[in-house]
Structure 1
C-alpha cells in the first residue's frame, strides 16, 4: 500500500527536499516522505481540481466538515472525544501556535523544550515574547522534560509551554504519567500549554499517543494544534487545525479578526477530510513501514557507525542521532561534502549544539541503507560503501 517514489518522481514532486539538491545527493533532511500520496487523498484532490476548486475556502471557523472529520478520526485513533464545533482551521501548525500565543497567552516568556523544531525557535520573538529554553542534556539516557526546571521557569515569570508531542526531533511519545506531571506544574502556576501534535499519527510500534487535552484538568489552559499534513505528505496544501475543549477558549479563538489567522486552503481542507475519513488503512500501513525503517536504521548504525548514539525512536520518521564520537562539530556538513547525503544539522534545532544530526527515514529500505553507508564513509576515514 505504501509506494516508494522513484528518484525522478521525487525530484518532480518534492520540490524542496529533492528539487534543491544536486543529482548525486540523497536528501534525508526536511520532513517529507519519499512515498506516493495516499490513494484516498490523491483521488479527492484530483476530483477537486477537476471541479476547479482553487479559490477561497469557506471561512468556517467552527466545526463544519473538517471538524466532523477530525473528531471522528481522533475518536478512532486515540479514543479521544473532540467537539467538532471546537475545531478551528488555520494555515499550518506553526501559524496555529502563533495564533494561540497571540490570542490566548499572557505576554510573559514562552518555555520551549529543546532541541526543538527549528521553524518554531523564533515563534516567541515574533509574538513579542522571550523564549526560555528547557534543554535536554545530550548525555541523558532518556529524553524527558525536567519538571523541576519547568517549575522554575514558570516561577521566574514564564506563562506558556510550547509542548511538542510526539516530540520532534527527540522522537519521544510522552506517557500519560509524564503529561499529568506537566499539567500539575502548569496548573500550579496558572500557566498555559500549546500542544503541537502534528506528529500524533506517526506513533510507531510499541508506543501510544495520549492527546494532551484528553488529560483531566487541561481543558481550561490548553489547546492542541494538529494536522494531517505530516502523516499524509500534504504540507504544501496549507491546512491545520486548532482544537480546544473549553467554550471560553474556543470563543476567544473565533472572535479574533480574520487577518490574525492566515487563510487556509480549500484543497488543504479537502485533503485533510479525505485523510481523516478514508485514510486509516493507508496510515496503518505507513506506521508498519516506518517501524520497519526504524528497526533497519538501528541495525545499520550498529553495523556501520557503532559509536553513534540514538535513543529509541517512538514516533515520527525523524531520527535524532548523536555522532559526537566521530569528532566532527557539524557532521551534516561533512556528510554532504564527503558522502553526498543531505541531513539536517543538529545546530538548526539547538543553536551551538555540535555533533548531532536529524535523519529522515521515510524512504525506501534501499535508500536508507545507502544513506547510512554514505554517512559512514564520510565520517570514518578509510571506510568504503559496500552497497
Structure 2
C-alpha cells in the first residue's frame, strides 16, 4: 500500500458512547447489544478527511456540486488507482454518482440491454432486486455455500446468458464472500461475456480493503473489457464516509460516455458536494491512514480465526481476502436462523445469511471492523448463543 500521498496515521477506536453518536444506524440497537452487522467501522474518521470537510463547511460551501464530469475528482481517483493498483482509468472516464448502488442502477439503466441481470449469490443484500427496479429479470447464479473457495461457475454463467440474460453484476472484491478474484478468473468471466455480447457492471467499492496475501485487479484492467463494462468505485467504504454520498462510475468507452452525457439530469443527480470533497481528500491524502486500516483489519482477521478456533471450532469461515466482513457457516450448531439466535441469546446483531442468498440456513455475515476487545466479546457471546 503506497504512502506517497500522506504520512502514516493511526486507526482510533470509537468508544461505545462515541459510536452510538457517530454511527446511528449501526449502533441504533438496544443497550447491551453489540452491533456487528451493517458495513460501517467502529473507527474515527481519518483526521485529514474530516479536516477537509470541516474546512469546506467553515467556508460556507454548501451549494450544488458541479453537474456532470468533475475534473478534480476524476484526476484524484485516477492518480489514486495508479498508485494502489498500477492501473488508472482516463480521468475523462470517471463520473460522480450518489453511491455505488445508485451507480449500478444507473449503469444498468443506461448501458444494458433489456435482458435479465445475472446476480451471483450469496450477494450484497442491498442489490437484490436491482434488476426488477430497472425493469429487468433477475437471474440468481447460486454459488454453493459449502465450497471452500467461492468461484463463479462459468458454465452456469454461460447458460444464463444463452437463456437471455444480458448483464452480469459482478461484486469484486466480493461482499459477503470476502473473495478477491484473480486476473485469470476475471479473464474467464470476460470470455463468457464476450461470447454472448453481454455487459458487466463491476462493483469495486471494497477494492481499497484488499488484505495482505491478495491483490485487487479491476475488471477494467483486463484486456478486452472496455467496450462492454463499467466499474463503480468509492472511497466511502474504506474511509467510513457513506453518509456523505459520493461514488464514481468509471466508463472507459468513449461511446458509452457520450451516451451517459445525453441522459437527463434526473438519472444521476443528488450526489453531495461534501462527499466530493471527502473523496478527493481520501484519494489525495489518505494513503497513510488507509495503510494503518489495512494493517488493523489484517490483525482482526487473524484474531477472529483464533477466537473461532477456541470458542466455536465447528464454525467454518471462508478465507477472508478483502473487506472487514466475514462469512460464517454456523450450521453445525443446528440453528437455521443463526442471526436471530445470536441476537436473542447472545445480544449480538449480525447479518442473516438468508438476506444474501435466499433459502440459506445457518449462515451469517460478521463485521470485524471494531476493537480487538469488542471482537473478542462478540465471539464469546456468539459461542454462548450458538453452543
Is 1:284 the counterpart of 2:291? The answer is yes
Among residues 10, 23, 33, which one is paired with 2:41 in the alignment?
Answer: 33
Instruction: Render the CA deviation track for 1:256-302: whole Å, top value 9, x for unaligned.
Output: 00001132000000000000000001101100000110010011001
**Separation of aligned partners in 1, 2:122 and 2:231:** 20
Compute the displacement of 1:55 (Å): 2.4
Report if aligned partners of 1:95, 1:262 keep a CA contact under 8 Å in 2: no
User: In structure 1, what is the equivalent of residue 32 of structure 2?
Assistant: 24
| 1:204 aligned partner | 211
Aligned 1:1-387 pairs, distance under 5 A: 1-18=10-27, 20-59=28-67, 61-380=68-387
TM-score, normalised to structure 1, is 0.97
Q: Secondary structure at the match of 2:175?
A: coil
Map of 1:383 onto structure 2? none
Give how far 1:249 is off. 1.2
Task: Please give the secondary structure, in 2, of the residue aligned with 1:332.
Answer: helix
Deviation sequence 1:132-188 (CA, Å, 0-9, x none)? 011111111210000000011101010000000000000000000000000000000
Task: Measure the CA separation in 2 of the matches of 1:315 and 1:347.
Answer: 21
Q: Distance in 1 between matches of 2:228 and 2:195?
A: 11
Question: Aligned with 1:56: secondary structure?
Answer: coil
**Structure 1: any 5+ residue segments left out of the alignment?**
381-387
Give TM-score, length-normalised by structure 2: 0.97
State the shift of 1:63 in Å: 4.1
Secondary structure in 2 matching 1:274: helix
Q: Tell me if the contact between 1:199 and 1:230 (Cα under 8 Å) persists in the aligned partners.
A: yes
SS of corresponding position for 1:137: coil
- SS of 1:106's equivalent in the other structure is coil
Structure 2: stretches of 5+ with no match in the other structure = 1-9
Secondary structure in structure 1 of the residue aligned to 2:328: strand
The DSSP-based 3-state class of the residue aligned with 1:158 is: coil
Once residues 108 and 248 of structure 1 are traced to their aligned partners in structure 2, the CA distance between those partners, rounded to angstroms, is: 21
Q: Aligned to 1:4, what secondary structure does the other structure show?
A: coil
User: CA–CA distance in 2 between the matches of 1:139 and 1:275?
Assistant: 38
What corresponds to 2:3 in structure 1?
A: none
Q: For residues 308 and 378 of structure 2, what CA distance do their matches in structure 1 show?
A: 11
> Aligned with 1:367: secondary structure?
helix
User: Are the aligned partners of 1:45 and 1:271 in contact in 2 as well (CA < 8 Å)?
Assistant: yes
8 Å CA contact 1:324–1:354 kept in 2: the answer is yes
Aligned partners of 2:141 and 2:287: how far apart in 1? Answer: 35
Structure 2: distance between partners of 1:217 and 1:138: 31
